[in-house]
Amino acid sequence: MAKTTDNQPLENLFKQTLELNKKYMNQSLNLLNQWSKQPNKSGNLFVFKPEQYSKAFKAFAQLNLEYYNHAMQLGLGMVDSFLNGENNENQTVTEPAFELSANAEAGSSMTLEFVLENTKTETAECQLTNSIFINSESVEFPSIKTTFSPQKFTQKPGESSTVKITLRIPKNTPPNMYFSNASVVGYEPSFFRIHLNVQPPQTKTANVKSKK
C-alpha cells in the first residue's frame, strides 16, 4: 500500500473540494430562505417570474448534486486504483493453479490437453507461453519443445476452450524429471506447471528365427 505521506496531498485536496462545494450549497439555500421571508413591498420580489426562478434554482441544485456525485466517484475510483493497482504489482503467486503430468521416452512426442474457462465479465485476449524446461537439478533443457494449439485466441465471458500441448523430447535427453511453468497472458499472476518424466528409449530386439 502507498505511504500515508504519499496520499496526504491528494486526500487534503479532495476533502477541501467537497467542503467548498458543501458551503456553496448551504449559502445558496440560506440565500433562498432569506429571500422567501422578506416582505413583498414592490409586489414583485424577483426580476423573473417565480416559476422561472424555481426552475433555475432546481437546475442549479441538480448541477451541484451531480458535481458532488462525480467528485465521490472520482475519489472512490482513485482509492481503488491505488489499492488494487499496488496489490496487483506486489502480488506474487508461488503455487501453480494446476499441474499436468506425463511419462515420455526420449526421442518421442506426446500431447496433453486442458480446458480454459473465462470466468471474467469481459472478453479475454489469451496467449499461451511457457518457461524453459529444467530438470530436478535445475539444469535447463531448451531442446524440449512445447507447442500450444491454439496458441492465441479470444474468449467471451463464460466461454471454454480446449488447449492442446504437444511436447517433443530429443533422443539425447537424459532420463530425469523435467518441469516447465506455463501461463496464459491475460490471466496473470496465475500459472500452471507441466511435469515430464523422461525415460530412456526402449531398445527393440530383433526376432531371429533359429535354423534347424
Q: Rounded to the nearest 5°, which phi and psi values hold at 177?
A: -100, 125
Which of 130, 141, 112 has its CA nearest to residue 191? 130
CA distance 173 to 136: 13
Is residue 149 a contact partner of residue 163, using CB atoms and an 8 Å limit?
Answer: yes
pLDDT at position 174? 95
User: CA 144, CA 105: separation in Å to the nearest integer?
Assistant: 12
How many other C-beta atoms lie within 10 A of the C-beta of residue 77?
Answer: 10
**Alpha-carbon span 205 to 212, nearest angstrom:** 21
Angle at 132 between CA 128 and CA 136, to 5 degrees: 130
Q: Give 3-state DSSP helix, strand, coil % of the chain, rounded to 5.
A: 35, 30, 35
Q: Which residues contact 28 (CB under 8 A, 6 or more apart)?
A: 57, 60, 61, 64
Rounded to whole angstroms, the Cα distance separating 210 from 119 reads 65
pLDDT of 13 reads 62
Q: What is the mean pLDDT of each run of 10 residues along the chain (212 residues)?
A: 49 66 64 59 54 60 57 55 51 83 94 93 93 94 95 94 96 95 87 95 66 56
The pLDDT score that the predictor gives to residue 185 is 86
DSSP class of 165: E
Position 3 scores a pLDDT of 45
